Amino acid sequence: MTDVRYPIGKCTIDPDITPAKRAAWIADIANLPANLHQAVAGLSDEQLAHAYRPGGWTLRQVVHHLADEHLNAFAYFKMALTEDDPVIKQYDEPAWANTLDASIAPVELSLNLLTALHARWVLLLNSLDDNQFARAYIHRRGRLTFDDAIQLYSWHCRHHTAHIVSFRNQ
């Protein structure tokens, strides 16, 4: 049986970078807003208030988490473009998911935010050359190059969307 925490498996970083793989990872980031809109389309407030798994976040919290994390990620990329190996301050993801806005705000707020944010992020990513993709930031996971990070966020987009889709398919 599949682990409901990891419906698409755990994130792995591919060290063999090709232009085609890079383009696919960026496409996953580009497609998140549309895929997420589709995943939550027609869900009631009651359904959005359900956890996708026992002890997990509600579907609403998952949507707001994506906005929180990706806002931070965009900032990580901008810092790493303008600073050498900046150290990224961690934030408490579970605490952020339990703030009032993440618990009760309409998902449309984060869907709209993600639409605009991902348009900017993808524009930025598509402007980078190979030397810039080698830039990095220091994260709780260690030193992440942009090539590493786009894989992480490609997975993150698909991972959390799969949580919602899995709930819908129950």
Mean pLDDT confidence for 113-127:
98
Mean pLDDT confidence for 15-27:
98
Q: Specify the pTM.
A: 0.96
- Per the CB < 8 A criterion, the answer to whether 29 and 157 are in contact is yes
CA angle 68, 160, 136 (to 5 degrees): 60
Domains in the chain, number: 1
pLDDT greater than 80 at residue 106: yes
Tell me whether residue 13 is in a domain.
no
Which tens digit of pLDDT belongs to each residue from 42-98? Answer: 999 999 999 999 999 999 999 999 999 999 999 999 999 999 999 999 999 999 999
Tell me whether residue 118 is in a domain.
yes
Tell me whether residue 11 is in a domain.
no
Task: For residue 135, give the DSSP letter.
Answer: -
pLDDT greater than 60 at residue 1: no
pLDDT tier, 2 (very low <50, low <70, confident <90, very high otherwise): confident
pLDDT greater than 70 at residue 153: yes
* Domain boundaries, position 70: 29-168
Tell me whether residue 93 is in a domain.
yes
Exposed / middle / buried, residue 4 (Cβ in 10 Å: 0-12, 13-18, 19+)? middle
The CATH number of the domain holding residue 150 is 1.20.120.450
Residue in this structure with the two tokens 């790493």, named with its chain if needed: 80
Task: For residue 49, give the DSSP letter.
Answer: T
At 144, phi and psi to the nearest 5?
-115, 120
- Distance CA(43)–CA(33), nearest Å, equals 16
Residue in this structure with the two tokens 């798994």, named with its chain if needed: 53
Of residues 90, 96, 95, 102, the one with CA closest to residue 140? 90
Tell me whether residue 47 is in a domain.
yes
